[in-house]
Amino acid sequence: MRVAWPLPSVILLLLVVQPAYPQVSRGTVKEGLTVESKILGRSVRYSIYLPFDYETSTRSYPVVYLLHGGGGSDTSWVDLEAGMTADEAISRRDVPPMILVMPDAGTSRYVNSHDNSVRYEEFFLKEFLPVIESRYRVRPGRWQRAIAGFSMGGYSSLVYALKHPEMFTACAAFSAAIYTDEMTIAMTQEQWDVGRGAAFGLGLKGSARITEHYKSYDPLRIAQSADPEKIKRLKLYLDCGDDDFRDEGNVAFHFLLRRLKIPHEFRVRDGGHTLEYWRTGLGEGLRFIGNTFRVPF
């Protein structure tokens, strides 16, 4: 005997059976990996996110280098659920499948130190990138390579992108540690020595902090002195909270780019200098980068 189900009952049954959200294919996050560095004289840790189809395909992928903030490590972005964010963005087709690489920079600020005792920038560009992009199926060339970071990592991602626009197609900087000269001079001695001393010179006070070495890693000065046509090839994305103590430097950088007529996106969201702010902002940053990857050149 055939039973005729009332239409409302059928709809109710489908709602119960259907999952609330579409199935998301999950990629793989690997931690505790290392690259041996002759430049630094030691091994450097990194974590990596590989998209869901990496192990079952032979395709190559665009890559985003995610830089952590001060006091963080290669697992900082992992803890901020970067892999899950990428999974969901890929599932929604907001971004193409991509590889995320998260190196450990300690407190180096990702720069070559003032006394050349730590040459992290040199390591990153000459050793780390070539090793990663030979070890994994990464698409070659700047058009499929981007960089992003939060706080110290946001500052450093801008420095790398602005100094080396021939190497990166896009940069997303979250709460970047950008300081005007006035802000740097006004820092307490503890703020300077703990946050910047190893990179730029311990014990420096006031205007003595604005050394030539310091200037060479200042995003404001780099943007002003760079070839504008080369910088305009970069896709720049800035995001800083309205309650963030770093907002002054980010706004100054935004206005400088406007005066220089350098295209960029500037976002101000509700929030401060917090892990939650960066976690919730990554998805939109990856979407911005992903759209850059999709543009034919």
Give the tens place of pLDDT for each residue, 151-176.
Answer: 999 999 999 999 999 999 999 999 99
- DSSP letter assigned to residue 61: B
> Global pTM?
0.91
Sheet of strand 235-239, all strands in order from the earlier edge strand to the far edge: 28-37, 42-50, 99-103, 63-67, 145-150, 170-174, 235-239, 265-267
Between the CA of residue 201 and those of 21, 120, 297, what are the distances in Å? Answer: 52, 16, 43
pLDDT for position 19: 46
Q: Which residue do the tokens 């090839």 mark?
A: 233
Q: Phi/psi at 252 (nearest 5 deg)?
A: -60, -40
Q: Is the pLDDT assigned to residue 121 strictly greater than 80?
A: yes
Average confidence (pLDDT) over 234-251: 96
Q: Is the pLDDT assigned to residue 73 strictly greater than 50?
A: yes
Q: Is the pLDDT assigned to residue 15 strictly greater than 50?
A: no
The encoded tokens of residue 243 equal: 């309650």
All structural domains of the chain, each given as residue ranges with its CATH number in brackets, are 29-294 (3.40.50.1820)
Write the pLDDT tens digit of every residue in 188-226. Answer: 999 999 999 999 999 999 999 999 999 999 999 999 999
Q: Percentage helix, strand, coil, to 5, in the chain?
A: 45, 20, 40
Burial class for 270, CB neighbours closer than 10 Å (0-12, 13-18, 19+): exposed
pLDDT for position 24: 86
CA distance 223 to 163: 8
pLDDT for position 127: 98
